[in-house]
Amino acid sequence: MSLLKVENLTVRYGAIEALRNVSFEVNEGEIVTFVGSNGAGKTTTMRTLSGIVRAASGRMQFKGTAIESLPSHQVVKLGLVQSPEGRLVFPDLSVRENLLLGAFARRASHAELNRELENVFELFPRLQERLKQDAHTLSGGEQQMLAIGRALMAKPSLLLLDEPSLGIAPLLVQQIFQKIVELNKKEGMTVLLAEQNARMALKIAHRAYVLEVGEIVQQGDAQVLLKDERLQKAYLGG
């Protein structure tokens, strides 16, 4: 069943068209990835979905609700939650406070919150070790875990991950991608992943869309795209 359906999305920054007539969908239980180089429009897509940027035209439906004109906090309430590019953790707050703010939209009870903190720690034990540290003292990889953990605290039905590998040591990137697969397999979490590291992303995704200067130029089964000649030349270094 289609959880998210986007039709003919166009986004402009002043005179520049960042996205042109982009259509895609995400089904329940899938990992879908957007690949493409810097400036292709991946982050713009994510920001538009979350209601941070407004679309010039087009339709976005999440769980059957039109979200193109909803303010960001209502999008979060519906269960469309993002871990943003650059992580954007709350620098002066502790890891724990960051995670608790993740549940801001939900008005959950203390017991519930503690249970979910446990779930996040199970996924990222490192966060539990750092619980009382201020977020800005964490390494890039740990901050990325925190950003994903914070998003999970909102109990998303669709998790948006924008560039989780950006500026992180390769070993940690591997680890984080494994966790994404784990989330998807064990908990049936639906994931929409925007990633410059096309090879990593295609390996774990079910389906993929290729963005080039604001337009979708290719789409299909991730494993098929992984072997696609044109894509290999453009994004996969061989």
Partner 1 sequence: MFDFIQYLFDGLAVGSVYALIALGYSMVFGVLQLVNFAHGELFMVGAYFVMYAISLGLPWPLALAFGMCSVGFFAVIMERLCYKPLRGAGKLAPLITAVGLSLLLQNLVQAILGPNPQSYPASLPEGYFSNALKSIFPSPEQIQLPQLPEGLFDWGEIVVRHRDLLIFIVAVAVTLGLELFLRKSRPGRGIRALALQPNAAKLVGVPFDFTISITFFIGAALAVLAGLLQGMADNQVTPYMGISSGLKAFAAAVLGGIGVIPGALVGGLVLGIAERLLVGYDLSTYKDGAAFFILIIVLLLRPQGLLGKARMVKV
Annotate each residue in 34-53 with x if it binds partner 1 (CB under 8 A) or - if it does not, as one string.
----------------xxx-
Contact between 93 and partner 1 (CB under 8 A)? yes
Q: Which is nearer to partner 1, 29 or 140 (CB)?
A: 140
Options 34-42, 57-65, 95-103, 184-192: segment touching partner 1 (CB under 8 A): 95-103
Q: Which of 10, 72, 128, 196 binds partner 1 (CB under 8 A)?
A: 72
Q: Could you tell me the smallest distance in angstroms from the CB atom of residue 103 to partner 1? A: 8
CB-facing half-sphere around the CA of 142: CA atoms within 13 A: 18
Amino acid residing at 35: V
Q: How far apart are CA 89 and CA 60, in angstroms?
A: 27
Q: How far apart are CA 42 and CA 163, in angstroms?
A: 9
Given 7, 63, 90, 232, the residue binding partner 1 (CB under 8 A): 90
Give the residue with the Cβ less far from partner 1, 46 or 198.
46
User: Where would I find the H helices in the chain?
Assistant: 42-49, 72-78, 95-102, 110-123, 125-129, 140-152, 170-187, 198-204, 222-226, 229-235
Whole-number Å distance between alpha carbons of 36 and 145: 23
Rounded to an integer, what distance in angstroms lies between the CA atom of residue 174 and that of residue 200? 8
Rule CB under 8 A: choose which of 89, 120, 161, 231 binds partner 1: 89
Site for partner 1 in 142-181 (CB under 8 A): 150-151, 154
Binding site for partner 1 (CB under 8 A): 50-52, 71-73, 76-77, 81-82, 84, 88-93, 101-107, 150-151, 154
